[in-house]
Structure 1
Amino acid sequence: MHPQVAQSEASNQQHRRFFQRRKNKRKNNALNRQKKKKEYARVAAENRHLTGIIEGMISQYLKVQGKNFQKHENYVSHLAGENDHRSFYAQDQQCAGSHIGGNDDELDVMNGLALNELDNPLSNEVKNPKNSQTIQKSTMSEFLKKIDDDVASSNDFSDFMVCFDGEHKKIGRYSFPLSLVSTVERITNVYGDVSAPCLKNSSVTEKIYLFFCATIKEMEDLKLHQVTEKKLLKWRDAIKDALRINFKVAFAMHHLKRIARAYFGCIGSQELQSIGDKLDALNKERAETYQDFKDYIAYAKDFYGKSVSDGLFA
């Protein structure tokens, strides 16, 4: 072959390889952009779904009425500002089926004793990863229904974090360990003697009373991120036992339901934070990709919907 022909052929092959590489690169870039677009849409849809769940749960929480309502409203407003979830105040009727409420008497008595107040921003409570999990709305509804279930209690002294040994103090008909005295006094100061309607022998009912007071003590000592489903059901059993022997403790059952809803709200906040982080990462990646191609995008726009010969004969 003539040297000039061979050189020309080699040059043509080099140009073909160059244009093929450019074509492959453009194809891969297009596929990557499409993939990122789909992922962004998926994460955004997941975010809207979980946001709807949390909005509904918060809207039910805000329905608690009474003297302390403004304080709780301000707390949730503060939380919403931190997480930029201003739609927490929306009334999501789809969540109405999972609402567990108390009667008017229960709502009123809760104003007297703020058991287990959520005194820290929820953003601080959700740092513990043990509650980080995806929970379906139906699963939450089913668990919340368990709070009202009448089941046999299996609680024992070892199930509680309270020390029942050592010196005791007599309060009314019952003898309490010193670890529970301040809790009993708080309850009595606000609600009176909750055991008064019970006509059973105190030696028979004392254990139930101790477990009930130990439950309230744990509520006083624990933060939201330390609550587990197992603890919630243990507290339910102790409160239910007290109700069965005619103790005036409906206020505690109502508050337990509030804690259960807040427990799932904590998990939901974690999920929203995780999704928000994913969205931030995708937005950052999108911005970086745009910077890489911004000088060429204008050229591409010139050919949208046109033949690539457009402008050739102008």
Structure 2
Amino acid sequence: MRLKDKTAMIVGAGQTPGPTMGNGRATAILFAREGARVLAVDRDLESARETVEIIRSEGGSAEATEADVVDEASLKAAVVYCTGQLGRLDILHNNVGISVTGGDAPVTEISVEAFDRIMTVNLRGVVLTCKHALPLMRAQGSGVIVTISSIAAIENYPWVTYKASKAALVTLTQQLAIQNAEYGIRANVILPGLMDTPMAVDNRAKAWGQTREEVVAARNAKVPLGEEDGRCVGRCQCRPVPGLGRGPIYYRCLSARRRRHDLQDRLSLTPLSRRQKQHAQNRQSGHTGGRQQHAATGTRHLGRKSRR
């Protein structure tokens, strides 16, 4: 078990009603199967408790608590609850986001109210959760922050606020990695594509006037592995935690138009990321130049770069 004796706080571990399982609940269950003690956090406490019951039915360890990412006091209370009930906080997993349900629209149609609400949930919520989790991780000298962004951050996407907020999570994660590496803390961000979850598929079907089956079929037609690609990303959500090196690690759920390594290349080979990498190396070594160490930021390839 790769997460044995680790404590994981999953923000957004409840479930949007629908025929499939959401990312937050699936992540909580997978972490528990890997041996983690899980704190399921959600604004819907009953839904978080349902996640806990699933974990316990499989022999795992989990607790539930209520918090809303738009309410800083509740986020702080959730972090305090985690350390009080489970003893420490090893893994923070941020998995909250809204788009069309929050009134998102193209840039020429977006309202101020919708823009502010979506940014509050998708971006500010992550910032405030990290604000209260980081002091505890720094004090214990270790920790991992995993945040769910979206492929919409770098791809063409019709709704402006969701795209902007998810892109901001990528740069936020880079900053978290750089500024907290000296404390033994890693920050990682995952950019999944269209997952077959109630929030992703059902909301799109409603917004586009299509059936769920039509949305899923259109998505699968763009992905070589069809439904299997989503399951791969689900497994990847556990992988950054045990120790694959420091710095943001970007997993992808991409269409047939883009090979697995292309996104990694685009994000890791920019002049800015090279400067950030060198800066982090200098901080770790205490001098300029010298032998290169594994950086506190930047990305790394997982597996072969060649095509399957």
Q: Could you state the TM-score of these two structures normalised by the residue count of structure 2? A: 0.22
Greater Cα radius of gyration, structure 1 or 2: 1
Q: Could you state the TM-score of these two structures normalised by the residue count of structure 1? A: 0.21
The structure with the largest strand share of the pair is 2
